[in-house]
Amino acid sequence: MHGITRRGLLGAGLGAVAAAGVAGCGTEGRDGAAERAHSPGNGPGHPAAPNAPVKPQVKLIGDGSTADAGRQPHQPDKPVPLEPGQTPPQFVIFSWDGAGEVGNGLFPRFLELARDHGASMTFFLSGIYLLPESNKSRYRPPNNPVGASDIGYLTDAHVRETLKCVREAWYDGHEIGTHFNGHFCGGSGSVANWSPGQWRSEIEQAVSFVTEWRTNTGWHDLEPLPFDYRKELIGGRTPCLLGQDNLLPTARQLGWRYDASSPGGRQVWPEKRQGVWDLPLQGVPFPGHSFEVLSMDYNILANQSKNTTRGMPSRYPGWREQATRAYLAGFQRAYETNRAPFYIGNHFEEWNGGIYMDAVEEALKGMAGKKDVRLVSFRQFVDWLDAQDPRVLDKLRALDVGQAPAGGWNAYFKTV
């Protein structure tokens, strides 16, 4: 894959493990909106959002599981084309596969971190995380038994907490994408073997679990999710980064604008595949090694503890530092040269003592606040891409990994 030498890079996630206790996101009682004192992803020089809760006027959709709450709060200004000679922003997109709150407090932890640093993120929600296990027969996965899943169904308490966190995330300005449902990565039922039609079935079921959670749970004491998911959903990431070739025709038919499922890419500016922006995880420098590692927590783990999520505790501090340095090395390489967007994938998991959660937090803190850096969602990023002159994007794509524009950005764009 593009000359990157890697080991163990395709394990893109394990199922969430239920933990004792529930750490809620706590959006209820805020008049329907999470408070923020800034606008995510706008970068320096943009005005802060008002620090007052807003009670939106919502229009219920379907059974009341979702609602149209109007324009999403905390969005960047309308993107504009780069001006001649202007330095492109350094986009960084943090994304989360599964996006379930299972009592370990990680979903609220990173919502708070995002608020503290003006970041927007993308949460790839697994549809079955909103489906109670008692109703798992409603899930009919392609090439697998009814109700089957290679990730665990959440407890009812954790489904409720996930609903609260997803609701808060959207009000905070984050994107809600999809990680599909059952996370089948091996055997005859693997997503790698699914047809375009089977992908459509999987997507339709994921949408139904999000838009009909009230029917499936019988709960009426929680507020609706404040978005029309059929409009909100414009992209996703497949389990274990498998099956993109057959997903893309369906994604295009559904009007998706991007896909983040490629099994590995380079730190260059993206292009479209079959009319859909292809935004792959990227190979980044891996401190202490001659090969690169994909920019995802599990892939770093696979190279450190050989796929076990409970490696040697004595090595945790060194592994944590190595993971942090890998993320920062990837960021710095792009920031100082071609300004290619940087994509980081994560899971709300406490693998190897939670070191990857600490690493991504430290990496985000090391990137936030720097000149031209924008911490955005995939949706916000493709909004920017679609606003650019295609000739400018072609010029950006001409720069290789770690290649700075000859003579600086002003001189480089003079030939556009």
Query: Could you give the domains of the chain?
Result: 59-67+91-415 (3.20.20.370)
**Residue located via tokens 């292009």:** 271
DSSP state string for 194-259: --HHHHHHHHHHHHHHHHTHHHHH---SSPPBSS-HHHH---B--GGG--HHHHHHHHHHTT--EE
Nearest to 267 by CA among 359, 325, 331: 331
Between the CA of residue 403 and those of 74, 332, 336, 377, 393, what are the distances in Å?
34, 12, 9, 25, 15
Tokens of 87: 């330095």
Tokens of 267: 């730190």
List CB contacts of 352: < 8 A, sequence separation 6 or more.
Answer: 301, 304, 305, 309, 310, 311, 316, 319
**Type of residue at 263:** P
Nearest to 396 by CA among 340, 333, 343, 342: 340
pTM for this structure? 0.89
SS3 123: strand
User: What pLDDT score does 170 carry?
Assistant: 98
**Type of residue at 297:** D
Would you write out the chain's pLDDT as a tens digit for each of its 416 residues?
A: 333 333 333 333 333 333 333 456 854 433 333 333 333 344 433 333 444 344 557 899 999 999 999 999 999 999 999 998 899 999 999 999 999 999 999 999 999 999 999 999 999 999 999 999 999 999 999 999 999 999 999 999 999 999 999 999 999 999 999 999 999 999 999 999 999 999 999 999 999 999 999 999 999 999 999 999 999 999 999 999 999 999 999 999 999 999 999 988 999 999 999 999 999 999 999 999 999 999 999 999 999 999 899 999 999 999 999 999 999 999 999 999 999 999 999 999 999 999 999 999 999 999 999 999 999 999 999 999 999 999 999 999 999 999 999 999 999 998 77
User: What pLDDT score does 20 carry?
Assistant: 32
